[in-house]
Amino acid sequence: MSGALQVTPELLRGWRPRSLAEHGDKEARGRVLVLAAGAQVAGATLLTAVAALRAGAGKLQIGAPRSLSLGLAMAIPEARVIPAAETVGGELAPLAAAELADAFARCEAAVIGPGMLDVDAAGELVLRLLQTEGPALVVDAAAMQGVAQDPRRARRHAGEMVLTPHAGEMAALAGVEKADVAADPLGVARRTAARLQAVVVLKGPATLIVSPDGKAWRHPGGGVGLATSGSGDVLAGIIAGLIARGAAPVQAAVWGVSAHAEAGVRLSRRIGRVGYLARELLDEVAPALHQLEAGG
């Protein structure tokens, strides 16, 4: 099988997301549900959720640990925040799957995992949600281990799931050493995408996007400044927002990686090569998407 296609402006121009009607309403841009961090990294929820809106999603819902729900509702007034069961450590509990089932079934894209630290709770939560028919999923951080534990259930959502690991998480997903990922990142990503029937976004200085059928794209990256706390949460939100707007998961992954990188480039010009913050990426997402959609 051939190597990965380089993501270029020409490639993106020929593969634009669905155009939005000038007079369309928010329903036409879809609904995103964010199920993300608990007490220790609550900001990850904000980064993910706002990124989804910046990418163009029309409506936003957040499933939040009960003790955080009011604070998140005040911090993100654009969102409907649904209080749900939490663990002793303040993260979403597996029981929250039942409380969030209606919101999960009624959205176009769901993001699960950004900022989650409890691998057992996050993994069980995602497995319970995967028991039912639902939206396209973007799965990040601790929640990815639940997918890896039950490939059969993951394959029920063939082609409708995007996994966003860095190299260490990729190693855990694939059941190999991190050195094996470094030695053959494309091969490991392809095998994992095929086994789980998911789109794999292997994050790094250059990011690989691999579809379940083995097609692959390589984005050269947006600079070292993107390697900062919360940057991956923003990426997950962008991808979900694009899916809600009507992009196929693999298309949303390629465009999401590109917009995230372009946002980093824009900040590096304005602030510096390193030192900008993930929260500052949020204001660059819409301009970056507009620039890419315009072909430049």
- Rounded to a whole number, what is the largest CA-CA distance in the chain? 51
4, part of any domain: no
Residue 1 is assigned to a structural domain of this protein = no
What is the pLDDT at residue 134?
87
What's the domain range around 36?
A: 26-293
Residues in the chain: 296
Encoded tokens for 253 = 């992954």
CB 57 within 8 A of CB 241: yes
pLDDT for 153 equals 83
Task: State residue 219's pLDDT score.
Answer: 97
Structural domain total, the chain: 1
* Residue that is written with structure tokens 């480039």 in the block: 265
Does the residue 224 lie in any domain? yes
Q: How far apart are CA 152 and CA 195, in angstroms?
A: 9
pTM for the whole structure: 0.96
Domain-located, residue 20? no
* 21 in a structural domain: no
Determine contact, residues 17/243, Cβ cutoff 8 Å. Answer: no
pLDDT at 76: 96
Report whether 222 contacts 263 (CB < 8 A).
Answer: yes
228 CB-side CA count, 13 A: 21
Paired with 110 in beta bridges are 33, 137
CATH number of the domain at 91, please.
3.40.1190.20
Alpha-carbon distance of 208 to 290, in angstroms, equals 23
Q: Which amino acid is at 255?
A: W
Residue at 13 is within a domain: no
Residue 235 lies in a domain: yes
Other beta carbons within 10 angstroms of residue 260's beta carbon come to 29
> Distance between alpha carbon 10 and the CA centroid of its chain, in Å?
24
Cβ atoms within 10 Å of 92's Cβ, excluding its own: 30
Low-confidence ranges of the chain (pLDDT < 50): none
